[in-house]
Amino acid sequence: MPADSKTKKTILTLNNNKKNGKPTVLVTAYDYPQARIADMADVDCILIGDSLGMTTLGHKTTIPVTMDDMIRSSEAVCRGSNNAFVIGDMPYMSYQPSNQIAVENAGRFIVAGCDMVKVEGAMTERIKAICDSGIMVMSHLGLTPHTRAKLGGYKVQGKTAEQAEIVLKQALALQDAGCSALLLEAMPKEPATMIAEELDIPVYGIGAGDGVDGQLVIFHDLMGLFWEFKSKFVKRYCEAGQIMEKALEEYVQEVREGKFPTEENFYEIKEEELEKLLGDSKWKYETDKGFPTNHSATPNTVTEKK
Ligand code: KIV
């Protein structure tokens, strides 16, 4: 494994950002080019989210995502990112069954190159086991898609004082269990800000207002590459899907009209090799268009002699 670059962000960067009131920027990525782009744009953290199930694999939820899906994606992202701090998202049933399974699967993310793992829900015992094994954990509270059925669907959390109190208690327990960071999903700004102020560890938000220590956005939401639905907290920074579609339409048209490929896209063959080819009786050439004119035969299409 190559040594970390000198500019690589670490947990110290994240902690210092919190201390200095500098917002940390997080984005998801699921493959090598996305990680390269995120890294070049100087994001602080990349999360290989199990949202990959929806953004990349076309599932309706994150539930079918497997450890193997996540590890393949994590390896590619880690190869593409030199500077960003990389967090691997533990998929459904990769941590719930036992402490041992949780630690083993967390370890697979670290072997893949991740710096930290993310675990959904107030699974204090599992999270403590992972932290005790020396692996850093980001906990994920608020709207937790793995337990969305229990929450009554994809609903904003912490909207009542009682609910917000529960999330705060869970957050404090997770910090005590050894978590290095916390992510709050889909919560009103005020309780999320209070939690961020109460905790010593960095508290990030996705749809949790601007009072937390940093923001996470899903790559495909930000880029305009996800069309199934758009959450209130999403801001599209470009319509990459439309740009790609337009490019593909142009390609389709040019191929059909014979405008692509052109000379500049062709590989060359040496004159003498072409002579040999033309002189070989095994081949028969049609001579209507497109071949060098200094040859006796000027074939365009090649057909095998009968
Ligand atoms: O999988 C993911 O990208 C996530 C975010 C929605 C928080 O868990």
Residue range 105-154, pLDDT digits in tens: 999 999 999 999 999 999 999 999 999 999 999 999 999 989 888 888 88
The 10s digit of each residue's pLDDT in 41-58 is 999 999 999 999 999 999
- What pLDDT is stored for residue 263 in this prediction? 95
Which residue's C-alpha comes closest to atom 4 of ligand 1?
49
What pLDDT does 301 receive?
Answer: 44
Averaged confidence pLDDT in the chain: 92
Distance (angstroms) between ligand 1 centre and the Cα of 301 equals 53
Mean of pLDDT values over 175-198: 97
**Averaged over 217-246, what is the pLDDT?**
93
What's the angle, vertex CA 147, arms to CA 142 and CA 151, rounded to 5? 65
Strand partners, 138: 118, 181
Ligand 1 centroid to residue 216 C-alpha, Å: 9
Query: 1-10, 131-140, 241-250: lowest mean pLDDT where?
Result: 1-10
Q: Does 21 have pLDDT greater than 80?
A: yes
Residues classed as catalytic: 185
Residues shown for the chain: 306
- Please tell me the residue having the least CA distance from ligand 1 atom 3: 49
Residue 15 CB-density burial (10 A; 0-12 exposed, 13-18 middle, 19+ buried): middle
Q: Is the pLDDT of residue 176 over 80?
A: yes
Please write the tens of the pLDDT for every residue from 60-87.
Answer: 999 999 999 999 999 999 999 999 999 9
Residue spans of alpha helices (H) in 41-66? 52-55
pLDDT at 151: 87
E strands in the chain: 24-28, 45-48, 85-89, 116-120, 137-142, 181-185, 203-206, 214-217, 283-285, 302-304
Instruction: Please indicate, yes or no, whether the overall pTM of this predicted structure exceeds 0.85.
Output: yes
Q: Which of 50, 114, 204, 222 maximizes ligand 1 atoms within 8 Å of its Cβ, making it the mutation to test the pocket?
A: 50
- Output the CA 51–ligand 1 centroid distance in Å: 5
Measured distance CA(253)–CA(267) in Å, rounded: 23
- Per-residue pLDDT at 6: 84
Cβ < 6 A, ligand 1 pocket? 28, 47, 49-51, 62, 89, 140, 183, 185, 206, 216, 218
What is the pLDDT at residue 306? Answer: 37
**Which residues, 6 or more positions from 39, have their beta carbon under 8 angstroms from its beta carbon?**
46, 80, 81, 82, 83, 84
- Cα(first)–Cα(last) distance of the chain, in Å? 57
CA of 257 from ligand 1 middle (Å) equals 44
Q: What is the band of 283 on the pLDDT scale with cuts at 50, 70, 90?
A: confident
For the chain, what percent of residues have pLDDT higher than 70?
Answer: 92
